[in-house]
Amino acid sequence: MSLINYSSREINCKVVYYGCGLCGKTTNIKYIYSKVAPDAKGKLISLATELDRTLFFDFMPLDLGSIKGFKTRFHLYTVPGQVFYNASRKLILKGVDGVVFVADSQVERLEANQESIVNLKDNLAENGFNIETIPFVIQYNKRDLPNIASVDEMRGQLNKWGVPDFEAVAHQGYGVFETLKEVAKKVLKNLG
């Protein structure tokens, strides 16, 4: 739910990158951070465990222009992917405006992807959102790896709602901004 500050004329929109452990959510955010001009972004806050797993959440504010005189500030979040951090994930989904589901294309992660998207649906529902109506985009990440499932297969398993989906190699930047642009467009459409 967008948070408006009238004195600064800012609309704060919340986009959450969701997905199973090590699927590349933080990589997406870090890539975005590395490419955006300093005056259009806030601080990137990233708390990771020793094994580079997101502990609570990553957070990065991003200015994406203005709408009707109000500056749109997108707050990008990631959730911790591991199964046992569900309480954190629920909390982070509160007040969400848009979701990017990052899927790991490796064959051995297909099951984890499915588990995670079911978990997303449940947690959204617990926060009062419907996965069918919320701005939602899927990204098939790690397309550069050798042991990956085909996009058709992944689409069949994960994208039952026919939402926009993108192939990506997040650490190289492929598909990262396309994904962000699409989810941002959907969020703004919801606002407007």
Closer residue to other proteins (CB): 5 or 133: 5
Contacts of 115 (CB under 8 A, 6+ apart): 20, 83
Q: Does residue 152 bind other proteins (CB under 8 A)? A: no
Rounded alpha-carbon distances, angstroms, from residue 14 to 58, 148, 187: 12, 31, 9
Number of residues lying near other proteins (CB under 8 A): 83
Tokens of 162: 């026919």
Q: Contact, 23 vs 109, CB < 8 A?
A: yes
Question: Which one of residues 111, 118, 128, 133 is an interface residue with other proteins (CB under 8 A)?
Answer: 128
Question: Which one of residues 111, 115, 118, 126 is an interface residue with other proteins (CB under 8 A)?
Answer: 126
Q: Does residue 153 bind other proteins (CB under 8 A)? A: no
Q: Contact, 41 vs 33, CB < 8 A?
A: yes
Question: Which one of residues 53, 121, 143, 155 is an interface residue with other proteins (CB under 8 A)?
Answer: 53
Q: Does residue 162 bind other proteins (CB under 8 A)? A: no
Q: Does residue 15 bind other proteins (CB under 8 A)? A: no
